[in-house]
Chain A
Amino acid sequence: MHVLIINGSPRVKKYSNTNYILVKFTEGLRENGASFEQYEISDRGSWDQIRQAFDRNTVILIALPLYVECIPGLLIEFLETLTPKSDGSKLAFLLQGGFMEGVQLRCGEAYLKILAGKLGCAYMGTLVKGDNFMIRFFEGEWREKVTDPYADMGREYAVNGDFNSKACKKFTGHEKFPLPVRIYVGHILKTQAAKGFEQIAAAFECDKPLDFKPY
């Protein structure tokens, strides 16, 4: 199987959480005998190439971050330029986001089902996973702890050609945290996580409080 992978993140590849995920995902893909070619939407100079690859390939995966409950504006701008297919192409999605629970990504996932039809492709499912916000800020083992599990999903996809297996559904993790976990997570977010965000801001040389109101 040969897969066209489109990284739909508007963020440049160097800082793209989606790309860090794809690095691991494609390791698994290769291990199970699939080949791939990958393009980045953030590189507008490659859009002609991506369009040609979309027309040429019949197994396509679009990986993307959730932006305001759906797909990013830049990805829509690119998709608007495609000619819908009629060659039986199969389209799957890898949807990732920052929020931890699966429920946060379901509205975006629902649109991806619609989108596959609009692009004239068979919908092959969406791999849904949150809790990825920190990937770009992590390094070494910390980053790999988050991204390594995607290699398993690459192996699954290489075998099945879709994200409909039990393993892929389970990969999402908690759909909703049980109440005691929510209370605990809420506390961590207000304390340790808040402090962590302020430390990242300091590294960005931010000289204002994070709740500063400029307008």
Chain B
Amino acid sequence: MALTDGTEQRRPRAPLAPWLKGSLLTLGSIAVTMLGLLFVTFIIGRVMPIDPVLAIVGERASQSTYDAVYEQLGLDKPLLVQFFYYLTDVMRGDFGMSLLNARPVSEDIARVFPATLELATMGVFMGIVLGVPLGVIAAVRRGSWIDQVARVVALVGYSMPIFWLGLMGLLIFYGILGWVGGPGRLDIFYEDIVPARTGMILVDSALAGDWSVFKNAFSHIILPASLLGYYSLAYISRMTRSFMLEQLSAEYVTTARVKGMSERAVIWRHAFKNIRVQLITVIALSYANLLEGSVLTEIIFSWPGIGSYITTALLSADMNAVLGGTVVVGLIFICLNIFSDLLYRVFDPRSK
């Protein structure tokens, strides 16, 4: 045994396979990023001007009660130890209690999150369905009126405050025209009819086969989803256009044309095929941005999602809820980024 061990040690260590090394590095950097995220929220929670002990014991508690809770919360320990406690709590999905309703923050988040997910998914769906073709056509017919339209759409999207556009939409389509449902997810008569299985009302009502609820939910979601869809459309169409322009100026496209291939085949079978990977990355990023963009949208449309949750908690100084919400949104954001990065690596042969 000792002999083999000795020879093992003398032999130069076999280098890690490149893919393994790459994955390890990626995993390491993900771990560091997530740790950093948690550290930042931890610090924010510590520098805030609210005394967490007072918030629990109330102002008239005796000094001994105060000290007991102070110790119980671990506030007498060094900062690093406190961070370690925080870390283990978060790992177990424990974000502490909400000071407002004395329920675990994690339960609250689990309850509001599907609403945001439903909204953002519908928004990004609209962004893809309209944005990708618009970008492709704008690139193919460069300089034409449709290219100009795409340009203006994107420019306005980058310049318009989302909450204002939401208000205007509400004013016009709900207030004046009456085409859509107002703020909220459902009219009051339709609430609590279908059992909540996924928390996404469109899905739940479809599963229950209750189409009147589905219709009502749809009339409520269509406006905020279109709003988010518009912003993701602005981004997706712009990126699609520049990816396509890059492909269309490549030599293989000229070759395909010279060969006598139809323009349609050149565009969709060759050029578009090559931008699919980049597009997926862009879509994942835009999805992540929508989760964030939904904060203001949810406020405007009284949408009971995670954005509303964080803001309400913020205004009532419910710090556990704010930090819990921030961590969850941040983690999803990171995961989507990693996901798009992974897709890129898996599907793009050049990155191997």
A and B: real partners?
no
